[in-house]
């Protein structure tokens, strides 16, 4: 199976985070099972109110929710995985498990024993790529994806726009949870 835990350093090299690197497997053993555990995956760079809305709604529907924070070693994120995990941990306050992962989403899903992936759809423009990913995950491992229509209140919101607004000194307080707004201000040097 090849599942292992790796440690990655955060941006300043001060502390470490466990990242689950999952090996390959199949999902055949859960065919016909009731869906009770869900995975909400994403980059969450940074997490927004839109992400939190989808995670909260998944928590209402499923017995167990895992928030999977993708760690891609070939990319330089705005917030390192450890920071994103810490922000999400505070946001879900014990109602979901938050963990970083590296590698294929379906392998992480199998290791965490989740039955279904839950993703938000903001607009039809999201649909093309989300459909491709959902179909790929189904082909790879029979992993089902359920889409939740994003609350219209947040349909314009994206992590990349939030980063840009924060970088340019705009107010992000209504777009992200308080802890994320604070982290953004600290990151762009606008901490008062």
Residues of the shown chain interacting with ligand PNS in the complex, contacts defined by CB under 6 A: 41-43, 70, 104-105, 133, 136-137
Task: Tell the smallest beta-carbon distance from residue 192 to ligand PNS (Å).
Answer: 30
Task: Tell the smallest beta-carbon distance from residue 117 to ligand PNS (Å).
Answer: 8
Q: Maximum distance among all alpha carbons in the chain?
A: 54
How far is the C-alpha of 154 from the C-alpha of 137, rounded, in Å?
26
Task: Tell the smallest beta-carbon distance from residue 43 to ligand PNS (Å).
Answer: 4
Catalytic residues: 51, 75, 122, 159
Residue closer to ligand PNS by CB (options 23, 169) is 23
Residue closer to ligand PNS by CB (options 39, 59) is 39
Which long-range CB contacts under 8 A does 154-159 form with residues at least 24 apart? 154/48, 154/49, 154/50, 154/53, 154/122, 155/50, 155/122, 155/123, 156/122, 157/48, 157/49, 157/50, 157/122, 158/48, 158/50, 158/122, 159/43, 159/44, 159/45, 159/46, 159/47, 159/48
Residue closer to ligand PNS by CB (options 137, 150) is 137
């Amino acid at each position: 199976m090849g599942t292992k835990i790796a440690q990655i350093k955060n941006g300043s090299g001060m502390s470490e985070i466990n990242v689950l690197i999952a090996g390959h497997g199949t999902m055949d053993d859960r065919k016909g099972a009731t869906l009770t555990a869900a995975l909400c995956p994403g980059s969450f760079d940074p997490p927004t109110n839109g992400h939190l809305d989808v995670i909260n709604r998944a928590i209402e529907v499923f017995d167990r929710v895992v928030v999977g924070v993708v760690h891609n070693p070939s990319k330089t994120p705005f917030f390192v995985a450890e920071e994103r995990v810490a922000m999400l941990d505070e946001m879900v306050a014990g109602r979901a498990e938050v963990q970083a992962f590296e590698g294929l989403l379906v392998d992480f899903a199998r290791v965490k024993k989740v039955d279904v992936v839950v993703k938000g759809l903001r607009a039809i423009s999201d649909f093309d790529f989300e459909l491709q990913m959902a179909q790929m995950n189904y082909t790879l491992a029979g992993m089902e994806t359920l889409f939740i229509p994003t609350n219209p209140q947040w349909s314009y919101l994206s992590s990349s726009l939030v980063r840009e607004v924060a970088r340019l000194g705009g107010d992000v307080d209504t777009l992200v949870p308080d802890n994320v707004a604070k982290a953004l201000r600290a990151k762009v040097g606008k901490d008062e």
